[in-house]
Amino acid sequence: MADALKIGIAGLGTVGAALVRILHDRRDMLATTCGRPIEVVAVTARDKTRDRGIDLTATSWFDDAASLAASADIDVFVELMGGAGDPAYSAVKAALSRGVHVVTANKALLAAHGIELAGIAEEHGALLNYEAAVAGGIPVIKALRESLTGNTISRVYGIMNGTCNYILTKMEKEGLSFEACLKEAQRLGYAEADPAFDIEGNDTAHKLSILTSLAFGTAIAADDIYLEGITNISIDDIHAAADLGYRIKLLGVAQRTESGIEQRVHPTMVPLDSVIAQVDGVTNAVAIESDILGELLMVGPGAGGNATASAVLGDIADIAKSRPGAQTVPAFGRPVTALLPYTRAQIQSHEGGYFIRLTVVDKAGVFASIATRMAENRISLESIVQRSKTHTDTGAPQTIILVTHATMEDSVRKAVASIKNEGYLVGEPQVIRIERPKVA
């Protein structure tokens, strides 16, 4: 049997501890399937004294990630600290620069520095693997980077944040407000004390930027993503969507258009009978549409110690099975020099159906005015409904729900702006895109 693959791990939180435990408990099986033993020989974390329920007595402890990455006698550096900057960035860069393979779960790091790090990996003959960075235990990176080679991909989209999916699911199933569901998510550990990164869509955007590069062969463009979070989704929107045969999900969508690549993260209405509408709780789902294979949908745990550790372990096993001198797989599916410049498509040219919720004063002529503004912008309406009054007082504000046929976003925005100028709106209008996935 070949010599052991020596692993150094930076970060011993939930995922790191789970990884150490799995490598220990399944070492014999892994040695057989990988053709060589896998040994954790070096670790680092913030607190050396913390009891993590794992045996580290035979493992070298380093005071910081940079020294472990730069000097430890290891074959693979596993980065599980998180964050786009240091210490993760410097440590990963140091490991790759001396030809040490890297496995990371750090989507923020890759979104910010992925192309640079991939170039360093290629220069020094090292692998940069990151299956766990997107959608937890779902093997979407391997699918895009290797399994779908030869396919021309037209669209990648999915539910990539368990926190948002949990909140939206709970709002629908229990009829609770956004604020109440967020508090419950925090209590259960699904949301951070400061949840902004998740609920504003940034986490999904980082993951989407990585998938976009893999799918379309372009440089990462995390700053060129149209972004909306779920903080403005009300229980009224949830109920209205259900009445119309839809469910609201936070989707990340990347697709080819005639003008470039469109990347967007926003709340979306999907048909109740679509597969992706059935993805509830903290589960993630990623769909890929391509010319040869057709439509592929992968669903699974999007976070958690075991799910993420499983993806990290898969990356380590791939390295263990490789042999010295073998051709390495480029981090983004093709050499960095072959990645195309990213050309952003204008989000205003997006064509699809829209849900529009308007709260208006109860007076004559409002319906006619709304219909006129829509017609002026050549928007065809699938339906227009006035919700039942919630107050007995005559003149109480009323809710009007519009669903459009496929139309240009620019037209919708212009129509809504003109309606706002009429002076009969109460509060801000709500506009939610409608997607009808091919994976039905």
CA distance 310 to 304: 10
Residue 204: phi and psi, rounded to 5, are -60, -40
CA distance 426 to 440: 37
What residues are annotated to the active site?
Answer: 207
End-to-end CA distance of the chain: 47
Cβ-based neighbours of 360, under 8 Å, separated by 6 or more = 366, 370, 397, 398, 399, 400, 424, 425, 426
CB atoms within 10 A of CB 315: 25
The CA-CA-CA angle for residues 384, 171, 157, to 5°, reads 75
CA distance 80 to 132: 10
Cβ-based neighbours of 318, under 8 Å, separated by 6 or more = 127, 129
Q: How far is CA 163 from CA 89, 93, 310, in A?
A: 26, 30, 20
